[in-house]
Chain A
């Protein structure tokens, strides 16, 4: 039997505010446990939440970016359950009236086609603290630094049909929130994580199969692996005559499997109700218009502009706009006068390679856009060859300094003096009579050999175009 997979994602995206969603405590990552939790975060008797207005504009930005309805009067609700890292015994979230209503976005599939995925809703909520099980014997430690950190929970329609599509969607959301500057999207620190709802049904069946929810997956790779494992598990189960049970499952990356956490029967009744401590969030058209006017350029628009203005290949455009920092870096290089195509080659080639090798983000690049533009300009004005440029780039990366200084110090300036090149060409022709015969006999490929020899003789400093032309003339005899 053929099976169709149905996937929906709930992405928890930490909003990049300085202070928490309902208190003035800092949201900085990595502080000593419980040093960034004030009385409000600790749920002390008598304290009250006060909404950090920055989260509202961030949520509206996201809503506009996915062409969603913005709820004019959204309401915070309490989700009641007991857990030690949930100080108040309830999480302040949004339930019936989320700030962002239905929207949609496009993802690109492996075969190059586009697919529209619906965004059901996005709502604001506070994060819980952390339970620490390590370093405690017979006890659990509680760190409430994260308690009250603002989250935007983005819920998709069940529109994805494969793990790859789910990953493409998750990447797209990641790209959007990074472009909007509303989240750092840091997955290692848990700023961007997702739950996946997965079910399978016989191909052609309208009715959805029973779904399981995979909790708290914090990398693109794990999303793909967890979903694929779960698809296989569900299909095997049904084909063996079993039934999928509606439950919450946890992905274990060490063993690449999902494990049952709790079934529907054990699920909490969260007893949602509007939080009487907070007023409804009322948004008017002027507010939305002002935010719309201030929206940054989004990936699609940037991609179209890059393609139109810079003559880049589609694959290059896609790679450049994939990460907003990389796109900004590229534009800065071009802005400093570098040829766009050379700039794209360098940014996506040597620069990306060097960043990956040193595990650096482009924002921490050791070569600045201005420095890279300086290097590319020297290629453009024939001061150095493309080959030498790679050595210069390596030197800039490893030792620091501008291209010009390195070219001068190492004497890498290209030889454009015709006499000097001619002498080298003549010498090479004289030294290799056999190959000269071959070329003259019609074996054109030998030209490459001669070019290589001349370049070697000039330590790579000869202009390859010039060498080529001169060799052809002279070899013709």
Chain B
């Protein structure tokens, strides 16, 4: 094997050819985690026994000839997905010892596809954060520079793949929580259309925005993984009854004659100059494929952060009410009466950012403020959706930067929530409109990865993956690995 990271197709070929077993791949991942994770803190739980059991089952399937394209490939789940018999902490003290009695649909689907889960990755508490610093289990470090944040909230999932600990991870994206960390760690991150992947068993942050997706090196890998994760689930009423296409089949479609819209609002003064350069170079690359690039406008984009910070906290304030110390999770030792039990349980087990959002959410929903905040935010949300829909009348894909800057330093923004929130200025619109969006690496700024964001119309995941794959066929940015880790390649020689 080359010292390039093998993609799923190569891993699957090697597994089926008997060049390597799933057990070997899994043991290799477990060793990497043991050796390297203390430096980056990407994992909350590692489950070697369950992993090796699953690997052996995969090897059996491979031997029987009934293996699929993902059978035997190791991965890890963001610790927001319930997995039966496994601790699911959501990065919070509240669920530090919560062992889920059931599998989320995402976990179940990838298990059924034969992927081998080696553990659960670190994340901002209840997915609330853009730097992974709100995790009760400590900040995750960016493998490109361990003084920097890998982004959040799926920071552990991003860092784990970037550092070569596992070939792929799942994440969730409520306002950019897959795309932003993917950008800051040089990975391909895909957030599908709202309703494309079931939310059942995914601990809710903001129900109307949350969507599960993937971290992989390449778009080709993401295509395989999303295909296995997606699909209708009767246990999630918001899950779409739309057939899942063969995403791999359209990866090589020609981009000749396609149109790319570039919102002028994405290129504001907040955008780092080197990042802008990388994005512009990437756009030229797409022109070389025969696609045309045109400027579009999203007049209400500036409202997306304020709207998001009304809608998401409103939903979270209600979603997190169930963590009351009565039935599961943390319960205070100090409870003289019921009110005290509630107050102390929640005061002691929720972190500051979670509390801030619960309070904001309760405020915007309260009598007398509902119309001015929540209702108004829903109206503006519709306008932002309409802006995007209008763009897609003329263009196939929208492109721009994923984040204003490359990875920032741990501690740099943690005391300034507004600065932190602005990190998601380019990503939030896709969540508000429920659209599929991806981030792919497209260059470096100050030696750190820069992400190119792709946004498509509803259920156009295949189109995004097609654009991304074409780009990755012609460029090498997705194969760049953090020099610090120079990871020994999975399945290869050191």
Contact residues of A with B, CB < 8 Å? 39, 42-51, 78, 80, 82, 84, 87-90, 140, 142, 269, 271-273, 276-279
Instruction: Judge whether A39 and B101 touch: CB under 8 Å.
Output: yes
- Which of B101, B315, B318 contacts A44, CB < 8 Å? B101
Residue interface mask B198-216, A partner, CB < 8 A = 1: 0111111011100000000
Greatest chain B CB density within 10 A among A39, A269, A272, A273 is at A273
- Is the CB–CB distance between A89 and B314 below 8 Å? no
Point out the residues of chain A lying under 8 angstroms from B338, CB to CB.
Answer: 84, 140
| B321-A46 in contact (CB<8A) | no
CA distance A46 to B315 in the complex (A): 14
Report B205 CB to chain A, min CB distance, Å: 11
Do A273 and B101 touch (CB < 8 A)? no
Contact A78 B237, CB 8 Å, known A47-B200, A84-B338 = no
Whole-angstrom CA separation of A277 from B102 in the bound complex: 19
Main secondary structure of the interface of B (DSSP, over half): loop
Q: Which of B53-111 contact A (CB under 8 A)?
A: 81-82, 88, 90, 95, 98, 100-102, 104
Of the residues B208, B317, B322, B342, contact of A88 by C-beta under 8 Å:
B322
Which residue in A47, A78, A269 is a CB contact (below 8 Å) of B366? A269
> Are B367's CB and A279's CB within 8 A?
no
B365 and A48 contacting across the interface, CB-CB below 8 Å: no
Assuming the contacts A46-B201, A276-B208, asked whether A90 and B318 have C-beta atoms less than 8 A apart, the reply is yes
Q: Select which of B81, B88, B237, B328 is within 8 A of A49 by beta carbon.
A: B237
Interchain nearest-CB distance for A148 vs B (Å): 14
- Given contacts A45-B100, A48-B236, A278-B237, A89 and B324 within 8 Å (CB-CB): yes
Establish whether residues B321 and A89, one from each chain, have CB atoms under 8 Å apart when the complex forms: yes
How far apart are A95's CB and chain B's nearest CB, in angstroms? 11
List of A residues within 8 angstroms of B202 by Cβ = 46
Q: For A88, what are the chain B residues with a Cβ–Cβ distance below 8 Å?
A: 321-322
| Chain B positions within 8 Å of A49 at CB level | 237
Inter-subunit contact B321/A51 (CB<8 Å)? no
Q: Cβ of B101 and Cβ of A279 under 8 Å apart?
A: no
* Cβ-based interface call for B326 (8 A): yes
The answer to whether the Cβ of B235 comes within 8 Å of any Cβ in the partner chain is yes
Q: Check B90–A45 contact: CB distance below 8 A.
A: yes
Which chain A residues border B102 with CB–CB below 8 Å? 39, 44
**How far is the CB of B239 from the nearest CB of chain A, in Å?**
9
Interface class of chain A by DSSP = loop
18 additional A-B residue pairs with CB within 8 Å, beyond A45-B322, A46-B88, A48-B199: A45-B204, A46-B203, A48-B237, A51-B237, A82-B324, A88-B322, A89-B318, A89-B320, A142-B326, A269-B366, A271-B365, A272-B370, A273-B314, A273-B370, A276-B208, A276-B238, A277-B204, A279-B237
Q: Which residues of A contact B235 (CB under 8 A)?
A: 48, 50
Q: How far is the CA of A39 from the CA of B102 in the complex (A)?
A: 9
**In the complex with contacts A269-B366, A269-B367, A89-B207 CB distance below 8 A:** no
Asked if B234 is at the interface of the complex by the 8 Å CB criterion, the answer is: yes
Interface residues of B (CB under 8 A from A): 81-82, 88, 90, 95, 98, 100-102, 104, 199-204, 206-208, 234-238, 314-315, 317-318, 320-324, 326-328, 338, 342, 362, 365-367, 370, 374
Asked whether A87 lies within 8 Å of B237 as measured between CB atoms, the reply is no
Bound Cα distance A269, B82 (Å): 32
| Distance (whole angstroms) from the CB of B469 to the closest CB of chain A | 32
Question: In the docked arrangement, what's the CA distance between A142 and B318, Å?
Answer: 21
Q: Which residues of chain A come closer than 8 Å to B320, judged between CB atoms?
A: 89
With most chain B CB atoms within 10 A of its CB, the pick from A48, A80, A269 is: A48
Q: Which of B104, B202, B324, B370 has the most CB of A within 10 A?
A: B324
B365 and A80 contacting across the interface, CB-CB below 8 Å: yes
For the complex, give the distance between the alpha carbons of A48 and B102 in Å: 13
Q: How far, in whole Å, are A78 and B322 apart by their CA atoms in the complex?
A: 13
Return A56 CB to nearest CB of chain B, in Å. Answer: 13
Are A87 and B365 CB-contacts (below 8 A) given A45-B90, A46-B203, A277-B238?
Answer: no
Q: How far, in whole Å, are A189 and B324 apart by their CA atoms in the complex?
A: 29
- A226, B251: Cα distance in complex, Å: 72
Contacting pair B207 A276 (CB below 8 A): yes
Partner of B234, one of A50, A273, A276: A50
Q: Which residues of B contact A276 (CB under 8 A)?
A: 206-208, 238, 315
In the docked arrangement, what's the CA distance between A34 and B142, Å?
46
Among A87, A272, A279, the residue within 8 A (CB) of B322 is A87
CB-defined A-B contacts under 8 Å, sample of 14: A43-B327, A44-B102, A44-B327, A45-B203, A46-B81, A46-B100, A47-B200, A84-B324, A87-B327, A88-B321, A269-B367, A271-B367, A276-B207, A276-B238
A133 to B234 CA separation, bound complex (whole angstroms): 38
6 nearest A-B pairs in the assembled complex, by CB-CB distance: A89-B321, A271-B365, A276-B207, A276-B208, A46-B201, A43-B322
Q: Which residue of B lies closest to A279 (CB)?
A: B237
Contact status B318-A47, CB under 8 Å: no
Q: A50 vs B208: C-alpha distance in the bound complex, in angstroms?
A: 15
Q: How far is the CB of A137 from chain B (nearest CB, A)?
A: 15
Of chain A, the residue at the smallest CB distance from B200 is A48
Contact of B238 among A42, A46, A78, A279 (CB under 8 A): A279
